[in-house]
Chain A
Amino acid sequence: MQSVSKPQKPPVIVSPNSFLAWIGKIFLLVIGLFAVYILAINLFDKPYLFAQNVINGIQLGFVYALIALGYTMVYGIVKLINFAHGDVFMVSAFVSFFAVERFALHQWPQRLFPGFNPSLSTVIGTVTTILLSMVICVLLAITIERVAYKPLREAPRIAALITAIGVSFFLEYFGLLNFVFSARYIPYQRPFEVVTWYIKDGIHLVESGVTPPDGAITISNILIIIIFATILVQIFLQYLVRRTKIGIAMRATSFDKPTARLMGIQVDKVISFTFAIGASFAALGGVLYAIAYPSIRTLMGVYPGLKAFVAAVLGGIGSIPGAFVGALIMGQAEAMTSGYISTPMRDAIAFSILILVLLIKPTGIFGEPEKEKA
């Protein structure tokens, strides 16, 4: 005789998460309070040192923001974490290096027209160098997208992710070969001189061989350039996404690809465009980073790339303002860790932030929970 299974009562689910989440929140609160306490003590102890650390963190954070935009935009549109993005950043630094070192592109107006105003020549030349790096990185990113990601568009997402890691390793270790970029740390020749000022009773120029007085805070022209460039990029991007046709197409594609295609949007072109624009920002970041920290090598993109990725996740991957805010937080976290705990701890803290965000709020600060598509 076959027993007819009678309808069972639905099992009562005791969420094991509620208790753990509670413990987790208390734990976080304690850590947070402790961090605030340490920062407050140091703020009152040596305010100028604290301000200097904040400025150091801003410089890092704004560069991370430029890289994080590429991660977040590409994720928003194709749900792919493009791990090769950090290596596009590296390629940009090398392109600008060769442009400056081999072809003196940073001084082309003066070389072409002797008697050209030298400082104007430097400005035009530097902008040209940056634009050249951006163009080459855009071409590289479009090639990567066409060769490695497009054929996998309909494949499971994990396949594209693994391919992205493969492309990243390819760029790093291809660059390592002696006839490409070689394995050495290359002193980067800057297109312009870095000038530093110190702030104490007004703003003064730091002259070589003269120590700024006690309690002075130093800022440099490259810091100001990084901040301005990143803010310009943010404004441009907001305009692009909100106000232009291609921006609307990007948002439509990110929202619902099949429907967007039905509405006549050329989805493949929009995706290529997204990769291109992300790569151009990474390229800008690469040149500015190399000018700020003038030593380049083929693995230089790994850590900034990973940290920008953490920043994108922290801000809410897929969200453009999120990437910016996340990057600023990452920059501050790193600067404060190296300032008040120890420098080797900063990577540990950076990646702990990733783990914490994923555990507590996987959608990040600005991220919205994924909507079910009907």
Chain B
Amino acid sequence: MKSFKLLSIVVIVAFLLAACGGGATAPKELKIAVLAPLSGPVPTFGEMTRDGALLAIEEWNAKGGVLGMTLVPVVEDSQCTPDPAVNAANKVVNQDKVHYIIGEVCSKASIPISEIANAAKVIQISPTSTNPSVTVDGNGITKPYIFRACFIDPFQGLVGAKFAIEKIGAKTAFVMVDQANDYVKGLAEFFEKAFTEAGGTIVGTESYTGSDTDFSAILAKIADAKPDVVYLPDYYNIVNLAMQQAKEKGITTPFLGGDGWDSADLNLAAAAGGYFTNHYSPDDPRPEVQDFRKAFEAKYNGKTPDALAALAYDATNLMLSAIKAAGADDTDKVKAALEAITFNGVSGTITFDASHNPVKSATILKVTAEGVKFEAVVNP
């Protein structure tokens, strides 16, 4: 009996050693971290981001990986909140020794992650964080290892203002802003600037906090000020509540927002009549978009990809194309490759400017009770 035990242990150890030996000769692995808010205030954003990134990684692996290395995704939940984001970034950088990060969704989480990644010479591409401070530090110097796949807040605010004046014909605007949210603040500031520069008047700016449910005081002021357009560049949860209450108070002024509106949980009945700037529309007829949509729907049981999925997919493809162009798992070479890249992605043709922000077109979508419709494309 005893000898049988000994024998079985020897056999098991031999197997394990063989397995390890086999691993050493197999193609090397390349880890790609995906940091997304899978819990916290905006989990639908996180799920779409993860799904888009994983689809890109799967497609590259099906083509044999990058530079002969199999891609291994490391998915962490960074909760759209600074502290969990820092923990997740430290974990993937120090523990998993990852050299490439896709993420986060929210600017307030991406900014602390970018500090860690940049210090460790890890390349981060945020798919959807639009605040300028993600790629540029407090002194206006570009963080060398940090990029993004989306256009930035100034551009959304600018497009929003351009659209409000040219298409809606607005002369006056009212701005609602969450003072504690970098994303909302960034969009609102640049909207105000662009709107005023184009000859419009801001008739009021009111702030609230993200946990508010009652917007009646602000809406009373809007009803009193009678602006031509209300700019509300917040996430869907606030948009649902504020626009619902606006409808009930008989406010017919069109609302205008940013890509934070883009969610399956946006209440279409409440938000109907509103417009928002976005990165992509699944109804765009370009073949890149339609191929991506088909692949995504096939992988995820017919779920239609939104802009978060498209940008996560683009960000991952950007990263992998740059690694391939650099020819080595060396973040300095990959960084140089990204700076020189011209990448034809789902969300448009992407090149990077000196601040590592992409130069690309934006889409305006209109919310109707039946769904979100493609309205126009605005070029920078």
Contacts and interface: CB of A to CB of B under 8 A. Distances in A.
B211 interface: yes
B8 interface: no
A293 B217 contact: no
The residue among B41, B244, B248, B265 with the most chain A CB atoms within 10 A of its own CB is: B248
A334 to B, nearest CB: 8
A53 interface: yes
A198 to B, nearest CB: 7
A278 B220 CA distance: 33
Contacts of A220: 248
A338 B40 contact: no
B224 interface: yes
Interface stretch (A154-162, A320-328, A339-347): A339-347
B312 to A, nearest CB: 19
Given A184-B265, A218-B250, A293-B241, A56 B44 contact: no
B217 A208 contact: no
Given A206-B249, A208-B247, A343 B41 contact: no
A218 B240 contact: no
Given A218-B249, A218-B250, A294-B244, A182 B43 contact: yes
Contacts of B251: 211
Interface in B23-75: 39-44
Contacts of B215: 343
B41 A185 contact: yes
Given A176-B39, A208-B247, A343-B217, A187 B265 contact: yes
A24 interface: no
B201 interface: no
Contacts of B42: 184
A330 to B, nearest CB: 13
A67 interface: no
A206 B214 contact: no
Contacts of A344: 179-180, 207-209
Contact of B206 (A210, A289, A342): A342
B252 interface: yes
B248 A206 contact: yes
Interface string B237-264: 1001100110111111000000000000
Contacts of A207: 250
Contact of A293 (B214, B223, B224): B214
Contacts of B241: 293-295
B213 interface: yes
Contacts of A60: 214
Given A182-B43, A184-B44, A343 B206 contact: yes
B212 interface: yes
A219 to B, nearest CB: 10
B113 to A, nearest CB: 20
B248 A198 contact: no
A186 B267 CA distance: 10
Contacts of A212: 223, 249-250
Given A182-B43, A185-B41, A344-B207, A196 B220 contact: no
B372 interface: no
B377 interface: no
Interface in A192-231: 194, 196, 198, 206-212, 214, 216, 218, 220
Nearest to A204: B250
A186 B241 CA distance: 11
A59 B216 CA distance: 10
B168 to A, nearest CB: 16
B336 interface: no
Contacts of B116: none
A212 B224 CA distance: 10
A365 interface: no
A347 B209 contact: yes
Contact of B250 (A182, A211, A297): A211
Contact of B267 (A53, A187, A289, A339): A187
A214 B226 CA distance: 9
B218 interface: yes
Nearest to A196: B248
B217 A186 contact: no
Given A60-B214, A293-B214, A335-B217, A343 B250 contact: no
B40 A183 contact: yes
Contacts of B213: 289, 293, 295, 300
A194 B248 contact: yes
A303 interface: yes
B37 to A, nearest CB: 9
A6 interface: no
Nearest to A304: B213
B217 to A, nearest CB: 4
Contacts of A176: 39
B207 A198 contact: no
Given A183-B39, A185-B41, A347-B209, A206 B250 contact: yes
B235 to A, nearest CB: 8
A49 B237 contact: no
Interface string A45-58: 01001001100100
Nearest to B179: A344
Contacts of B220: 49, 52-53, 56, 339
Nearest to B39: A183
A339 B217 contact: yes
B278 to A, nearest CB: 20
Contacts of B217: 53, 56, 335, 338-339, 343
Contacts of A303: 211
A338 B218 contact: yes
Given A196-B248, A206-B249, A295-B213, A343 B207 contact: yes
A342 B207 contact: yes
Contacts of A347: 209
Interface string A74-100: 000000000000000000000000000
Given A53-B217, A185-B236, A186-B265, 4 more contacts: A59-B216, A185-B237, A218-B250, A295-B241
Interface of B: 39-44, 179-180, 206-209, 211-218, 220-221, 223-224, 226, 236-237, 240-241, 244-245, 247-252, 265, 267, 270
13 contacts: A52-B220, A60-B214, A183-B39, A184-B43, A184-B265, A187-B265, A187-B270, A216-B250, A218-B223, A293-B213, A294-B267, A339-B220, A342-B207
8 tightest A-B CB contacts, nearest first = A185-B237, A338-B217, A293-B213, A56-B216, A206-B250, A343-B208, A339-B217, A212-B250
